[in-house]
Amino acid sequence: MIRKYHRPSSLEGALDLLARGDVVTVLLGGGTVLNGLPAAPADEVVDLQGLALDGISSEGTTVTYGAMARLQDVVDNGWTPPLLRHLARGELPSTLRTAASVGGTVAAADGESRFLAGLLACEATVTVATRSGDDTYALDRILVDKTLLEGAIITSVTLETSGFGAWEGTGRTPADTPIVLVAGRRRPDGGTVLAATGVAATPVVIDPDHIDDLDPPGDFRGTPEYRRHLAAVLANRVISRLEKEGRA
């Protein structure tokens, strides 16, 4: 049961609250998911809305979103690559996009998050603050190793805007969350980055030559074998679209 609510005005104050060993403290970003663990026991909540972490900036071929930037801010911002803008728009209905934060979405690490797949395709990095200083990690490392977020607060997410992207997904209906989605980006050097949802516990970067090595979860929408098949078909479609775009 949550017994106390905090809204610190400084990052240092938030980190001090998080560091208390005798209190189970969870972070509140946009409020659509509590610390990525809706059922987790918590004594106190630390709301990050007072930390001024919602800025968006661009430098060279990168754009940086503050952790408290909302998904709707990502959609509306002119620096956002078209691939990510589309995937962010499809992540949640408009009423929730205005609340859900970039950092909170990363922390939640939903395996079906098309926005995270887009970030992976754009080779995103995540900067976190701890009491001993700041660290920056590749997003794919953060998603598979949540210990990197222990005692830490995500402050920003930076991604590459160069190149161009494409995506393909399959759901039960056009409006449904895709069973599997593949997002891809062609780098200026000709290399390709592919990421997929629905094939692991979190969205992951995939190698089209090793899709048979994936071990997807199964549910009422599809068996692991079906999801692997979808991943292979969708990856080939994305690669074909990227090749066609590159020749245009």
Q: pLDDT digit string (tens) for 48-67?
A: 999 999 999 999 999 999 99
Lowest-confidence region among 2-11, 97-106, 232-241: 2-11
Q: CB neighbours of 93 closer than 8 A, spacing ≥ 6?
A: none
The per-residue pLDDT for 36 is 47
Residue 145 vs residue 36, higher pLDDT: 145
Q: Is the pTM of this model over 0.85?
A: yes
- pLDDT for 96-134, tens place per residue? 999 999 999 999 999 999 999 999 999 999 999 999 999
d(CA 233, CA 2): 46
Sheet containing 25-28: order of strands = 4-6, 44-47, 25-28
Place of tokens 């939903």: 110
- The DSSP bridge pattern shows strands 133-138 and 153-160 to be unpaired
Residue 68 is given by DSSP the state: T
Domains for the chain: give ranges and CATH numbers: 4-47 (no CATH), 56-160 (3.30.465.10), 164-247 (3.30.390.50)
How would you class 59 by CB atoms within 10 Å of its CB: exposed for 0-12, middle for 13-18, buried for 19 or more?
A: exposed
Average per-residue pLDDT for the chain: 93
Identify the CA nearest to 170 among candidates 236, 123, 106.
236
Angle at the Cα of 36 from the Cα atoms of 33 and 41, rounded to 5 degrees: 95
Residue 146 is given by DSSP the state: G
